Chains A and B, each alone.
Chain A
């Protein structure tokens, strides 16, 4: 079990190291934004925390130094000058090495290690160097087990006087729970002293009047008894006296007091035998097995020996209202993959049966149809395990809108609809960032200032409507504001200033609106602390297309804007058009195809030396030869037979030329991650009915890579402008 958690740790380390690296690079590039500094600090801190859990001492020690130096930077006590940045970058590289050594074994370059530690230590202020420094008397790195306490197997009787101060109650500490902990150590007698309780009239409900005198007979060491009161130290009057004050205890106390510099109570929890804890876990006969989130399936709720539940724990046997099962995501994904195979398997069978030279296969085909339906049912069922309602995501968005409103001095409310719409877990996770950005953008740029709104007969409070719904096999997320709408002249002006479009370009309203998604575009007149973080709507668009989705904006001046995100229900399967390109079978996502048509020579028009245009009902669209864009050689010189009309996000249409269309079907998406690097024009792969692999194409990136279409784009703008 801990093995798989350790795997998680190393995975997470990779991400954290990347974040550290990225942050340091940004700092090196002159970005000293506190949030960047904080992010680096947190990443290194998390590495340290995880490494500590697995006893990776060398890594902990180094990460600790890194973190300490960075904390100085974070608190503005130290300047991030060039030598320090270089040292931190080298230290980050060394962290990579230490993590690799911890994971894969091997040796650390000790000379390098020591050199960096020495260099880092120079930046660490004197008083920080003593890691065991204990300014508040509130728990230091004290390990009770490290102190040589003579064993006291004999029973000891402790007289404990405990009088909570008023402040203790405001920390959520309850005397009763402390007494329960003591009770488990031996025989406990509790005597309540309410003599200080005033009459009803004089009572301050906030004040603490009660105290207790406890007598505990136990074989536990004094330190263990004292540890029970660790959290309330300083929040109560406490005295613990051993009846005989045996020599052993006196020695232990002396050792403790020496270690704590006279502090009366032990800080670390006592070392309790884990087995003893397990026995107190009552068996849970009515509950679902709750396997730990690891690939290992445990048939039982825990490995614990069933023991008679103690009286105070019997309530835990009640059945919960909604029995649920926690399952490791990886296991669900394996199941999804297996079902995907089943579907592929079905199409292979179907194909082979169709190829059989048998007169009557109707019966087989009927059965096969049943098989297919069952496979689809299973697939849907498995997919639904991964599906989660968008409600928690929407709740987070409500807070984003509140924060953004108060930061911009606007008043807005978020209205949500369709909170119970279920979407794939990964989609929800990866939707959080783009949605946050869209909402901040809506508050910052969409909704007008309250005084402006009143002038236009609108409610002073702006409304942003966040809706989720299922729409023909897709999920639709809509963000609609009742603000001013896209300021098209302004957007166009900015686009011209930034060189995104020629000065004399003539664009449709939709084209102008879509400029918001162009890389490097930002409408903020002055950089506000909300949207001016260097993240543009292009990042939002990339995030959405990365999920296999599309994003659109529609806007009407004075009335508001609507962002519509269409996402696939799942990331595991999609509908595709099976085509052939240069003797290879490939798949084009149906969602990107507007229309398909067989071509003939009359429809093709040359433009310049290389460009060709397809004429469709009087209009011309540029042709992109898919084989050429993918760098594939065609065996014969025959012109492509079929055109797939696709539309890009800006509404521009192009025709993808392929050799032939075979079929339209659902395909299981197989990631090419780890198989090869990123391939321009290819999104993923799938396995077809004949067992062969086919590439799933990404039309947007094919068009981006195609010089012919790019050139046409400019020409058209220029000609429109003249």
Chain B
């Protein structure tokens, strides 16, 4: 059987000029490959999950499906986001199940030559190393490429 889910770094290496969506989280620029994103929605209040960790904001209704919403900022170890209507929820797919990621705002779609992607320089932050799979320079700012699998893999037991 053909493997359907390839690891992300493989995908990045083999692709020619992939399109990425860049957005800001806690003032920093991040991006995800456009094919990883199902849709982008404006933030609306979510339903709280009791006993959930601080980076799990709750659940929302996406056309009849219950999907969990994560605070990317909290997940990256940055300050938690006070979500408002100006913010967006980026809906991505994890093993066929949709998951929402709260970001400050979406910036633009950028085209990246895979060869421009640099490895993440080692920094003293486990969160960063775990969730970022590479960086690129775009319009003189650093954009961090998110390792989606790492970000949306949640421990089974929320408690």
Contact = CB atoms under 8 A, between A and B. Distances in A.
Interface of A: 6, 54, 102-106, 337, 340-341, 344, 584-585, 630-632, 670, 672, 674-682, 685, 687, 691-695
19 contacts: A6-B1, A54-B1, A102-B1, A104-B3, A670-B66, A675-B59, A675-B67, A675-B68, A676-B49, A676-B52, A676-B56, A676-B158, A677-B157, A679-B158, A687-B61, A687-B64, A687-B66, A692-B47, A695-B50
B155 interface: yes
B61 A691 contact: yes
A685 B159 CA distance: 17
B37 to A, nearest CB: 19
B48 interface: yes
Given A679-B51, A680-B50, A693-B61, 13 more contacts: A104-B4, A104-B5, A105-B3, A341-B64, A675-B68, A676-B158, A677-B154, A678-B158, A678-B159, A682-B50, A687-B61, A692-B61, A695-B50
Contacts of A695: 47, 49-50
A672 B66 contact: yes
A624 to B, nearest CB: 14
Contact of A680 (B4, B156, B159): B159
Given A677-B157, A678-B157, A632 B50 contact: yes
A685 B66 contact: yes
Given A676-B154, A677-B157, A678-B159, A631 B66 contact: no
A103 B95 CA distance: 13
| Residue of A102, A105, A341 with highest tally of chain B CB at under 10 A | A105
Contacts of B59: 672, 675-676, 685, 693
B2 interface: yes
A630 B50 contact: yes
A687 B154 CA distance: 23
A675 to B, nearest CB: 5
A681 B50 CA distance: 8
Contacts of B157: 677-678
A106 B3 contact: yes
A105 B66 CA distance: 30
A663 to B, nearest CB: 17
B14 interface: no
A631 B61 contact: no
Indicate the size class of the contact surface on chain B: 20 to 34
B126 interface: no
B86 interface: no
A583 to B, nearest CB: 9
Contacts of B156: 677
Contacts of A103: 1
B106 interface: no
A104 B155 CA distance: 21
B30 to A, nearest CB: 24
Interface in B1-56: 1-6, 46-52, 56
B60 interface: yes
A685 B62 CA distance: 13
B151 to A, nearest CB: 15
Contact of A693 (B1, B50, B56, B60): B60
| Residue of B6, B60, B158 with highest tally of chain A CB at under 10 A | B158
Contacts of B52: 676, 679
A344 B50 contact: no
A341 B50 CA distance: 25
Contacts of B155: 677
A691 to B, nearest CB: 5
A677 B50 contact: no
A687 B64 CA distance: 7
Nearest to B45: A692
B159 A677 contact: yes
A687 B47 CA distance: 10
A54 B64 CA distance: 36
B45 to A, nearest CB: 8
Contacts of B67: 675
B135 to A, nearest CB: 26
A92 to B, nearest CB: 20
Nearest to A105: B3
B92 to A, nearest CB: 14
Nearest to A10: B1
A237 B155 CA distance: 67
Contacts of A6: 1
Given A674-B97, A685-B59, A693-B61, A680 B51 contact: yes
A1 B149 CA distance: 29
B83 to A, nearest CB: 15
A207 B4 CA distance: 61
A231 B2 CA distance: 38
A72 B47 CA distance: 55
A72 B157 CA distance: 39
A679 B159 contact: yes
A676 B50 contact: no
Contacts of B51: 630-631, 679-680
B1 A675 contact: no
Contacts of A680: 50-51, 159
A655 to B, nearest CB: 19
Contacts of B4: 104
Nearest to B156: A677
Contacts of A344: 64
A677 B3 CA distance: 27
Interface in B61-89: 61, 64-68
A29 B45 CA distance: 49
A407 B29 CA distance: 71
A584 B49 contact: no
A468 B139 CA distance: 72
Contacts of B5: 104
Contacts of A681: 50
Given A685-B59, A693-B61, A677 B66 contact: no
A97 B155 CA distance: 20
Contacts of B3: 104-106
A679 B50 contact: yes
A701 B111 CA distance: 51
Nearest to B5: A104
Contact of B158 (A674, A677, A687): A677
| Residue of B2, B47, B159 with highest tally of chain A CB at under 10 A | B47
Contacts of A337: 64
A105 B158 contact: no
Contacts of B66: 670, 672, 675, 685, 687, 693
Contacts of A692: 47, 61
| Residue of A104, A584, A676 with highest tally of chain B CB at under 10 A | A676
A687 B65 CA distance: 9
A105 B2 contact: yes
A632 B48 contact: yes
Nearest to A345: B64
Contacts of B46: 693
Contacts of B48: 584, 632
A584 to B, nearest CB: 6
Contacts of B97: 674-675
Contacts of A340: 64
Contacts of B154: 676-677
